[in-house]
Amino acid sequence: MKLEDYILKFMSLCITRRATDLYILPKLEEYQVMYKKFNRCHLIEEVPQDVGEQLIAFFKFKADMALSEKRRPQTGAYFWHLKNQEAHLRLSTVGDFLLRESMVIRFIYPIADEQIQHLDPKQWQQLIQLTHKRGLLLFSGPMGSGKTTSIYQLAHYLAQQRVVMTIEDPVEIFEKDFLQLQVNTRAQMTYEQLLKVGLRHRPDVFIIGEIRDAYTAQVAVKAALSGHLVLSTVHAQNVYGVLKRLKQFDVDDEMLQQALCGIAYQRLIPLENHGVAALFDILQGTALRQAFQALPTKQMTHTWGDHLAKEYQECRISEKTLAEYQEG
């Protein structure tokens, strides 16, 4: 098989299956080519070492990366466009201790192509209603749970009449109607600096990829209090964990209560028809105010378990899935 055939095969497969990543990894005398979807890796093919090296060299050339550098980490990016297939590719390479190079390619699709099925459509309407209130709306959940896609879909719904700006590290989804800023420490474009610039641009909707420190948390709260709708993510294992995490950032408690309009913990639940659908655990209104006063010891709200039980009774999820996701 020619190199061009390998490239077309792997790229077409990844884009058709909406893979998030393509791995080209050295294994003994071969290279292993895998794709990742929903946080699970799937082997495509094992190719000879020379083919693996040629594949990496091809993608590095397209992304304007140094072909002679095979030891130090490199990053690059370019658009893949062939017929009706399109994706923005973000590439990363590094050499191992045997000087064998590996590559990971991240696929970034237009938001119009990134649609998530919802286990309970009423929950999505509930989130849309929260965006009309302005303020700070936070999402949490493990990697690959669709948090960023949900945030973008909400913002896309609002973008027809509002200015949307994102600050991410790195950009995960391409949206032509958003002003998307990406952290680049080498160019002195840090989260802190981009947040300052972003506020001067006076967007209506402000997407912050992740609240990861006290400064970002304080800016997000101030932006929400000044009339922006701020959408962001926080690393936590449930909605109550988000509140604990925010309190660790030493944000003024009263300001936080005024700014925060809702929290949504998200998972992609495997279905019996082999698909997946998003389930949310949403904290808002009276329940959110009560949680501020005294954090419950339980992991999830009662509605989370109710939704799972209902889906199991209707045979949409298995008993194994019911037990696995009971605690979030």
Dump pLDDT digits (tens) for 196-228: 888 788 888 999 988 988 988 988 998 899 888
Band (pLDDT 50/70/90 cuts) for residue 292 is confident
- What percent of the chain has pLDDT above 70? 98
Q: Kindly state the average pLDDT of the residues 146-158.
A: 87
Residue whose tokens read 């938001």: 111
Question: 49 and 57 in contact (C-beta within 8 Å)?
Answer: no
pLDDT score of 85 more than 80? no
Instruction: Please tell me the distance from the alpha carbon of residue 74 to that of residue 177, in angstroms, as a whole number.
Output: 29
In the chain, alpha helices (H): 3-16, 49-62, 121-131, 147-158, 191-200, 214-225, 239-248, 253-259, 285-293, 302-313, 319-324
Question: Which of 14-18, 260-264, 265-269 has the lowest average pLDDT?
Answer: 14-18
Which of 96-105, 166-175, 190-199 is modeled with the greatest confidence? 96-105
User: Nearest Cα to 182, choosing from 45, 88, 270?
Assistant: 88
- The pLDDT of residue 111 is 67
Q: Which tokens belong to 92?
A: 């990363």
pLDDT score of 51 more than 90? yes
Question: 262 and 123 in contact (C-beta within 8 Å)?
Answer: no
- The pLDDT of residue 113 is 60
Tell how far CA 88 is from the center of its chain: 15
pLDDT score of 157 more than 90? no
Instruction: Please tell me the distance from the alpha carbon of residue 258 to that of residue 44, in angstroms, as a whole number.
Output: 50
Residue range 237-251, pLDDT digits in tens:
999 999 999 988 888
Band (pLDDT 50/70/90 cuts) for residue 170 is confident
- The pLDDT of residue 282 is 96
pLDDT score of 109 more than 90? no
Question: 32 and 23 in contact (C-beta within 8 Å)?
Answer: yes
